[in-house]
Amino acid sequence: MRKSIIFLSLIVFVLAYAGCAEKHLTKSDGTASAQNESAIKQTVQPGTAGKSAKQEASAKQSNSKEQTMGAQAAEQIAADLTDIHFDFDQYSIRPEDRKILSGHADLLLKNKKVKIVIEGNCDERGTTEYNLALGDKRAREAKKFLVNSGVNRTRIKTISYGKERPLDPDHNEEAWAKNRRDHFVVK
């Protein structure tokens, strides 16, 4: 009988202590205190519950490989997105550049996570304001082509640099032809 009383006392004590500990972990409104929340976060990180140290190291290594592969893929995509060019004082897309844009659309449709910025550029002739407007029209025309090809418009931003970023700084027709372009940047 005495053993039963001691055992029951022990159970009551443990339950009472557990109840006090629970009150210590929570505020009167039932939410955890900030101190205890940080302790809980340090103890159990999302996605790591029940994982061994080997599994965690393997997961980190796998994530690192994925990020490296993602960066390499982005670099390759950026290299594949070649510039398109425009005729003097024009923003309509030339037939040979439509083929290039079709290839860009295919690439973007295969790589759904890739976002791009289309940079519209002009040659040095004309005012700054005029060239900024023309560069904007060129970039928007390329975006319109890609969107019409099935690329989600939210993945494409446009910007105009006008004549401020020449590819070729020379002052002749050959240089100007190089500078009248849309440049594609992977974000």
| Domain extent listing, the chain | 1-44, 69-186
Q: What is the pLDDT of residue 52?
A: 60
Mean pLDDT estimate for the chain = 81
Q: What is the pLDDT of residue 78?
A: 86
Q: Name the residue with higher pLDDT: 51 or 122.
A: 122
Q: What is the pLDDT of residue 76?
A: 87
* Cβ pair 63, 155 in contact under 8 A: no
What string of H, E and C letters represents the secondary structure of 24-45? HHECCCCCECHHHHHHHHHHCC
Q: What is the pLDDT of residue 41?
A: 45
- Rounded to an integer, the average pLDDT of 17-33 is 48
Q: What is the pLDDT of residue 71?
A: 73
- Rounded to an integer, the average pLDDT of 94-100 is 98
- pTM equals 0.64
With respect to CATH, is domain 69-186 assigned 3.30.1330.60? Answer: yes
